[in-house]
Amino acid sequence: MHRISATPVASVYPHYVAKAERKGRTRAEVDEVIRWLTGYDDAALARHLADGTTFADFFAGATLNPDVGLITGSVCGVKVQEVEDPLMRQVRYLDKLVDELAKGRPMATVLRSST
């Protein structure tokens, strides 16, 4: 098990928001990305953050977007589609989406939308 499995999502979430905000994006956009990936609504996301839910439990309860397989590319030199551990792949998906958001990509592109 990787130590990220026991890490609370709430301890990493501010870093996702800060990264996005440094590049002119918003907390609401970070939340939209998380909701798209996990299927959680605003209330469920807020509850997980407030409760200190670990990444393992956060993703165990998530209903991943059916288009998650369209997330490809590298995060820290690791291709997300090649990560073998399911939890680590899910965390890398989230990292990749936040990276794309921070790079200024249009939200439709980040969320793998055809519109």
CA dihedral for 51, 54, 65, 35, sign (positive or negative): positive
Does the pTM surpass 0.85? The reply is yes
What values do phi and psi take at 8, rounded to 5? Answer: -70, 135
Percent of the chain beyond pLDDT 90?
Answer: 88
The Cα 93–Cα 7 span in angstroms is 16
Give me the number of domains the chain comprises. 1
Q: What is the mean pLDDT of residues 52-64?
A: 97
Residue 30 lies in a domain: yes
Instruction: Please report the pLDDT score of residue 3 as a whole number.
Output: 87
pLDDT level of residue 39 (50, 70, 90 thresholds): very high
Instruction: Please report the pLDDT score of residue 115 as a whole number.
Output: 46
pLDDT digits (tens, 9 = 90+) for 64-81: 999 999 999 988 888 998
What values do phi and psi take at 38, rounded to 5? Answer: -100, -20
Instruction: Please report the pLDDT score of residue 114 as a whole number.
Output: 57
Cα 44 off chain centre by: 15
Between 76 and 63, whose confidence is greater? 63
pLDDT level of residue 101 (50, 70, 90 thresholds): very high
Residue 43 lies in a domain: yes
Q: Tell me the residue range of the domain where 96 lies.
A: 3-110
Name the residue with tokens 């592109």. 109
- CATH number for 70: 1.10.8.290
Q: Which residues does 61 contact at the CB level (< 8 Å), separation at least 6? A: none
Q: What is the mean pLDDT of residues 94-108?
A: 95
Residue 115 lies in a domain: no
Residue 57 lies in a domain: yes
The Cα 76–Cα 20 span in angstroms is 17
Residue type, 98: V
Q: What is the mean pLDDT of residues 16-25?
A: 97
